[in-house]
Amino acid sequence: MAAAEEADSIGQVRVCLCVLCGLPAAGKTTLARTILRGTAQHEWRSTVVCYDDLIPDHAFQSRGMEEQTHTEWKLHRQAVLQCIEQFLKNCDVSTDLPVSCKINCTAWERCIQDLLEPQSDNAPLIFLLDDNFYYPSMRYEVYQLARKYSLGFCQVYLHCDLESCTSRNQSRSKPIPAEVILDMSKRLEAPNPQKNSWETNSITLNTTDHFSDSDIQKVMELLSSALTNPLSPVEDHTEQKMADRLKCATSVVHQADQACRRLISEAMKTARENQVPPGQMRSLAAQLNESKAKFLHDLRTQFLQDVHLTDEDVDVDRAVKTAIHVFDSDKKDILLRAMSDYT
């Protein structure tokens, strides 16, 4: 209900949120600029929402992958979406951004200035969201906003091999540390419409070289299709989905727990056979136990977090197997350390 009422505030104007995702230096910003020229020809109003410009430097520097900075970056990403939401509600440069505004307000004003140039009050609005968006969960936040206000939604994934990104990075004004790009390339999960039906409206461009006119053409068609086929704030199956997931998580965690116990008793046996003395044995047992508790906790949390992102039925056996692999390698480290401490 609330969503339908809120949707009225943007009136009849068609809006599209377009996610541009890919590694740093994959060519997102260049592509965005080219698209801007294309949208002007269609008399669409468009702007590039460049996260690097909106998010203050200190957060930018620390965009590393450690848990804490990851969370900080997440809060900033959400602040950007809040600004877009606010703009959609008021459809003007409201200078009273949320008080807790975590983004650079000057940069934001500049960003929406382009949308206020009145071609016509009813001209469609295009937001090109320029960030790495390497996890589906990051893109899903944008999808949710689009759905809430019945906006068009689409994604362009810029596929670029690591070497090209790395060499292009050298000439950037804000170069990114090599390890950040490398780490991101390992974590990157490209849009996958087969797995996530909400990612259906996505295309991939190979930007290892430069993009062609036909690439731009594809993007324009994607935008056009997103504008004419906005999402609908369908009824939410969240609760049922969550309940199913919870059951599934319980089952995965239970089986993983059993498997961990077996691995731990094997490790203890190995230690005993290697004549590790009783004091060490106790400490080894405690360490393995602690590692298991943390592992099971993380497994459960992660499992429940991913609930919205995929339509795939969970293959419990496979999930357990994959997870156990992680614990097994921790176990080996702990065991080796215990035995080498002793010898």
Ligand X SMILES: *[C@@H]1O[C@H](CO)[C@@H](O)[C@H](O)[C@H]1NC(C)=O
Q: According to CB under 6 A, which residues from 303 to 342 bind ligand X?
A: none
Note every long-range contact of 312-319, with CB atoms under 8 Å and residues 24 or more positions apart, other chains counting: 312/195, 314/245, 314/248, 314/252, 316/248, 316/251, 316/252, 316/255, 319/252
The one-letter amino acid code at 160 reads: C
Q: How many residues bind ligand X (CB under 6 A)?
A: 23
293 forms part of the interface with ligand X (CB under 6 A): yes
| Strand, coil or helix: 11 | coil
181 forms part of the interface with ligand X (CB under 6 A): yes
289 forms part of the interface with ligand X (CB under 6 A): yes
193 forms part of the interface with ligand X (CB under 6 A): no
Q: Which is nearer to ligand X, 170 or 343 (CB)?
A: 170
Q: What is the CA radius of gyration of the chain?
A: 24
Q: Which is nearer to ligand X, 15 or 160 (CB)?
A: 160
What is the smallest separation between the CB atom of 141 and ligand X, expressed in angstroms? 23
Q: Pick the binder of ligand X from 46, 132, 155, 169 (CB under 6 A).
A: 169
178 forms part of the interface with ligand X (CB under 6 A): yes
Q: Which is nearer to ligand X, 104 or 280 (CB)?
A: 104
Q: Kindly give the interhelix angle for 136-148 and 67-90, rounded to the nearest 10 degrees.
A: 20
Q: Kindly give the interhelix angle for 278-305 and 316-342, rounded to the nearest 10 degrees.
A: 150
**Burial letters 159-181, b for 16+ CB under 10 A, else e:** bbeeebbbebbeeeeeebeeebb
Nearest Cα to Cα of residue 51 among 83, 95, 13: 83
301 forms part of the interface with ligand X (CB under 6 A): no
Q: Pick the binder of ligand X from 61, 106, 229, 302 (CB under 6 A).
A: 106
What is the smallest separation between the CB atom of 305 and ligand X, expressed in angstroms? 22
Q: Which is nearer to ligand X, 56 or 232 (CB)?
A: 56
The rounded Cα 5 to chain-centroid distance in angstroms is 28
214 forms part of the interface with ligand X (CB under 6 A): no
What is the smallest separation between the CB atom of 27 and ligand X, expressed in angstroms? 12
Q: Which is nearer to ligand X, 111 or 309 (CB)?
A: 111
Stretch that binds ligand X, among 10-18, 59-67, 75-83, 174-182 (CB under 6 A): 174-182
Which position has the token pair 């035995």? Answer: 339
What is the smallest separation between the CB atom of 257 and ligand X, expressed in angstroms? 12
Stretch that binds ligand X, among 52-60, 77-85, 90-98, 135-143 (CB under 6 A): 52-60
What is the smallest separation between the CB atom of 107 and ligand X, expressed in angstroms? 4
56 forms part of the interface with ligand X (CB under 6 A): yes
Nearest Cα to Cα of residue 118 among 217, 43, 58: 43
Q: Pick the binder of ligand X from 93, 248, 259, 285 (CB under 6 A).
A: 285
H-helix segments, 149-273: 162-169, 178-187, 213-228, 238-273
Q: Which is nearer to ligand X, 57 or 341 (CB)?
A: 57
What is the smallest separation between the CB atom of 288 and ligand X, expressed in angstroms? 9
Residue with the CB atom nearest ligand X in the bound state: 175
In degrees rounded to 5, what are phi and psi of residue 208?
-60, -45
In degrees rounded to 5, what are phi and psi of residue 111?
-65, -40
Give the strand pairing for 125-130 and 15-21: parallel
| Strand, coil or helix: 318 | helix
> What is the binding site for ligand X (CB under 6 A)?
53, 56-57, 104, 106-107, 110, 159, 166, 169-170, 175-178, 181, 206, 208-209, 285-286, 289, 293
